[in-house]
Structure 1
């Protein structure tokens, strides 16, 4: 009997060794519009997560703040472009999620109709200004710019929320006086004559006294999943990094992914793809952590966030571990 037991145990061990390793599962969420759409489309079509051995489920949301809310409810494990302000806010509040990557740079311009009498940012006092909804990083950055650079109180202008195509339409209809629009959008609305009066990069440089551009989107990860799957977390970051590098080197493939995923016209997809290098980033170097902390303090100064952002909310382990994944 003892020998039979030994043989059975050895046979079971052989079966276990022969069985393929079970793929680690990850649920990835992103906003199905705005800048998140482009990266998400290329990430999915290129199967970058799957190539790292992950079993992935993509969940797309119609609202920019929805991925963060879904993560708080345990519905997803990773958000590839969560609004920086909202992500910082939930982390400061102690919700169990962490910022593991900077993923999007705030490449936006303040624009007005070409025939508008508005000549400068200072002329926006008392005006209707279109932008992303409250809770978004875009809204928080714009609020900080108006208050710190121009002395505007929140009562000195009216924020009209909406997505970029809608805001461009509002400008044409003269329903708003100005808008903060992404450079991607401006490249696509060729038939609308708009005039730039300022940019997020330059205004942020003045505000922060730093050359680092403001971070618009971050990679947000659920703490329970991160703790239970440290190796998979590194694979997620590795897939993000490889997708970013792929997009930099193959603009035609980016355009094709946008045509297929977003039903975008070829010319529009090519214009979007050409901006890839400037609107995306996949990094969590010490400089990125410092920039995120500085951004939090700016947001806090205009009451866009509260509390303190602990170091534990900005773990760099997944990013560092991803560097060894070839």
Structure 2
């Protein structure tokens, strides 16, 4: 009789597996800009297999352009962008695309710099000058426009914006092809031999605009609404993995540097300089203060014409972040 029960139990288990199939890991396609600020976080996320440790089947897709992850999201080619440009994310959501911001993930830790021998002394002196920023549509370009117009009355027609990635802009500065540039602190740290003088910072200038201490957000965690609906438990796991990777980076800068050397072939000195800035350039939050800061940012962007329309109440989704707090 006991033997019969064992056979019956085994048959029942096989029957359930035959009907339902093996348990399938939730899949997620994650995209990030491989040559920008997202590089460091993406390298640590991949090296530490943080998504896989949450039981997710993950595919990483890397893009050479800052706005490409958001375009890929809109086309349904990826499910989550770890650091989509905030300005582009605002625009596509305001246009009605079914995407949601679930995290503030990158802080706009940039400085306005000029060559040390430049006659430019203050931000007000930038009127009529050539200013290097990230490509049009990027958060850097939008925040630059907002700062110049709001704080100094310098409208887009009053200066020439020169697009490019940070290394290219640094080269333009060295060749005197541009007068000033908005460069990330990471880039400046990696160019110790360049003779640059700081005339302003995004954090300081943003504080003048918003009258708050919340730093400007450069990148956001962006998710496809359809993917969230199809995988209701997965968004919290994705955010939990992001939070754990962020905490790891804060605690172990040597490991961050190693991940950067492996992923981007950086020199030891450059990798260490990049890793040392981890706490200043990344964040993984969606607290009420972050939501308020993002809404305020949208209002500023709209004031200078960088975005149009309204940001729907549903655009900023906190549920994955809140649920991630219970993931151990």
What's the TM-score bracket when you normalise by the shorter of the two chains? over 0.9
How much has 1:15 moved relative to structure 2? 3.7
Q: Partners in 1 of 2:215 and 2:194 — Cα distance?
A: 27
The equivalent residue for 1:248 is: 250
Given that residues 27 and 57 in structure 1 are in contact (C-alpha distance below 8 angstroms), is that contact kept between their aligned partners in structure 2? yes
Q: Partners in 2 of 1:47 and 1:215 — Cα distance?
A: 26
The equivalent residue for 1:300 is: 302
Correspondence list, 1:160-309, <5 A: 160-309=162-311
1:182-228 alpha-carbon deviations (Å, 9 max, x no partner): 00000000111000000000000001111110000000000100111
How much has 1:22 moved relative to structure 2? 1.2
**Compared with structure 1, are the counterparts of its residues 94 and 251 closer, same or farther at alpha carbon in structure 2 (3 Å cutoff)?**
same
RMSD: 1.6
Given that residues 30 and 61 in structure 1 are in contact (C-alpha distance below 8 angstroms), is that contact kept between their aligned partners in structure 2? yes
Q: Partners in 2 of 1:15 and 1:294 — Cα distance?
A: 51
Q: Partners in 1 of 2:228 and 2:13 — Cα distance?
A: 34
SS in 2 for 1:79: strand
**Compared with structure 1, are the counterparts of its residues 99 and 18 closer, same or farther at alpha carbon in structure 2 (3 Å cutoff)?**
closer
Q: Partners in 2 of 1:84 and 1:312 — Cα distance?
A: 16
TM-score, normalised via structure 2 length: 0.95
How much has 1:311 moved relative to structure 2? 1.6
How much has 1:69 moved relative to structure 2? 0.4
1:114-164 alpha-carbon deviations (Å, 9 max, x no partner): 110110001111000000111001111000001000001111100000000
Q: Partners in 2 of 1:58 and 1:249 — Cα distance?
A: 24
SS in 2 for 1:110: strand
Q: Partners in 2 of 1:262 and 1:162 — Cα distance?
A: 19
Correspondence list, 1:23-62, <5 A: 23-62=25-64
Q: Partners in 2 of 1:9 and 1:284 — Cα distance?
A: 48
1:109 partnered with 2:111: yes
How much has 1:10 moved relative to structure 2? 2.7
Aligned residues: 321
TM-score, normalised via structure 1 length: 0.96
Residue segments in structure 1 that go unaligned for 5+ positions in a row: 1-5
Q: Partners in 2 of 1:218 and 1:100 — Cα distance?
A: 7
The equivalent residue for 1:3 is: none
The equivalent residue for 2:5 is: none
Correspondence list, 1:147-162, <5 A: 147-162=149-164
The equivalent residue for 1:83 is: 85
How much has 1:244 moved relative to structure 2? 0.2
How much has 1:310 moved relative to structure 2? 1.1
Given that residues 29 and 76 in structure 1 are in contact (C-alpha distance below 8 angstroms), is that contact kept between their aligned partners in structure 2? yes
SS in 2 for 1:112: strand
How much has 1:17 moved relative to structure 2? 10
How much has 1:229 moved relative to structure 2? 0.8
1:134 partnered with 2:127: no
